[in-house]
């Protein structure tokens, strides 16, 4: 159930998703047609102060530009978590793309207020968008693509399929030609193809619209080797194009197996937990 403080203008056109105690999750599956003007204005008033706390080197104007009608209407999906006062505390946004001749789920933005980081909000919100995209892609692979400079994001997405070889780039692993083509098209879509190093999928000055990148200090993950790799590979304003391959049939089978185990009152095995989509 939504919070009693959830502004009514945010509920119009939105599907409610379960996020966690005291929070309301709202999903717009087609932002251009489903996100009404009053909800857009509410987001422009309340969203930027949260976003600059999540991305400390950005400004509120940066996020107001991101919330322009032109940018919002490019999104295929948007999920926002609201607290008990109806204020945003987390978000994810995606677009449908074809890169390298493949169907791709472009993860265009995500963030969580510092007070709520580490609570699983981001993965819960991504699951709401990614699940339907995987079903639509079946039985073909769905490639999730994003530009990121955050090793924590890299670690979460690269382990999301439950396979160690389904994400690129990766230290010491060759990048397949079809993944390289996906990354080139993604960088072209961003207007940064000339800055892409195809051997590493790193984009130089990817975040050139802020003076110091997205953070005053890059976040760290729970994997020291990934943190060190990012530090060697990327400067403060650089990023990588991350490509992750999801196998719909395997994921749906694992989801059915987990549901069956829950229905039988059995605990999920370690392997079934690790194959969760996000």
Residues 160 and 118 in one domain: no
User: Which pLDDT does position 126 carry in this prediction?
Assistant: 92
Give the residues of the chain that fall short of pLDDT 70: 1-5, 211-213, 249-278
Scanning the chain, the segments in alpha helix (DSSP H) are 8-11, 31-34, 37-54, 60-66, 69-72, 121-137, 151-158, 177-189, 224-233, 248-263, 270-274
Classify residue 270: in a domain, yes or no: no
Residues 82 and 175 in one domain: no
Classify residue 78: in a domain, yes or no: yes
Residues 2 and 116 in one domain: yes
DSSP 200: T
Classify residue 94: in a domain, yes or no: yes
Q: How far apart are CA 217 and CA 101, in angstroms?
A: 36
Which of 117, 137, 157 terminates a domain? The answer is 137
Classify residue 125: in a domain, yes or no: yes
Residue 254 and residue 277 in contact, taking contact as beta carbons nearer than 8 Å: no
Residues 124 and 168 in one domain: no
Residues 114 and 158 in one domain: no
User: Which pLDDT does position 8 carry in this prediction?
Assistant: 87
- Environment class of 78 (CB within 10 Å of its CB; exposed 0-12, middle 13-18, buried 19+): buried
Average pLDDT, the chain: 86
Residues 157-187: tens digit of each pLDDT: 988 887 889 999 999 999 999 999 999 999 9
Residues 31 and 127 in one domain: yes
User: Which pLDDT does position 274 carry in this prediction?
Assistant: 27
Classify residue 129: in a domain, yes or no: yes
Residues 6 and 130 in one domain: yes
Residues 113-132: tens digit of each pLDDT: 999 988 889 889 998 888 87
Residues 3 and 73 in one domain: yes
User: Which pLDDT does position 161 carry in this prediction?
Assistant: 83
Which of 89, 110, 137 terminates a domain? The answer is 137
Residues 17 and 38 in one domain: yes
CATH no. for residue 94?
3.40.630
Find the domain containing 86 and state its range: 1-137
Classify residue 158: in a domain, yes or no: yes
Residues 251 and 211 in one domain: yes
Q: How far apart are CA 179 and CA 201, in angstroms?
A: 10
Residues 175 and 120 in one domain: no
Residues 195-219: tens digit of each pLDDT: 999 999 999 999 987 766 677 788 8
Residues 150 and 242 in one domain: yes
Which of 94, 118, 137 terminates a domain? The answer is 137
Number of domains in the chain: 2
Classify residue 276: in a domain, yes or no: no
Q: How far apart are CA 151 and CA 139, in angstroms?
A: 30
Cα dihedral across residues 68, 74, 80, 86: positive or negative? positive
Classify residue 133: in a domain, yes or no: yes
């Amino acid at each position: 159930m939504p919070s009693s403080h959830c502004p009514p203008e945010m509920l119009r056109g939105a599907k409610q998703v379960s996020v966690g105690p005291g929070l309301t999750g709202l999903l717009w599956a087609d932002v251009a047609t489903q996100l009404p003007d009053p909800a857009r204005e509410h987001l422009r008033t309340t969203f930027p102060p949260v976003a600059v706390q999540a991305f400390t080197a950005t400004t509120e104007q940066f996020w107001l530009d991101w919330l322009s009608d032109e940018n919002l209407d490019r999104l295929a999906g948007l999920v926002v978590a609201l607290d008990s006062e109806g204020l945003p505390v987390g978000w994810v946004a995606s677009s449908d793309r074809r890169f390298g001749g493949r169907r791709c789920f472009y993860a265009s933005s995500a963030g969580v207020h510092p007070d709520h980081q580490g609570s699983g909000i981001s993965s819960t919100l991504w699951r709401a968008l990614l699940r339907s995209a995987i079903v639509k892609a079946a039985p073909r692979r769905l490639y999730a693509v994003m530009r990121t400079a955050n090793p924590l994001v890299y670690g979460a997405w690269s382990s999301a399929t439950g396979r160690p070889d389904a994400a690129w780039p990766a230290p010491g692993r060759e990048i397949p030609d079809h993944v390289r083509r996906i990354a080139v098209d993604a960088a072209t879509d961003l207007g940064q193809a000339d800055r892409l190093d195809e051997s590493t999928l790193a984009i130089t000055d990817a975040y050139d619209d802020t003076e110091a990148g997205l953070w005053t200090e890059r976040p760290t993950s729970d994997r020291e080797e990934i943190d060190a790799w990012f530090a060697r590979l990327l400067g403060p304003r650089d990023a990588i194009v991350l490509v992750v391959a999801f196998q719909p049939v395997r994921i749906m089978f694992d989801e059915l197996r987990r549901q069956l185990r829950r229905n039988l009152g059995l605990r999920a095995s370690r392997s079934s937990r690790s194959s969760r989509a996000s």
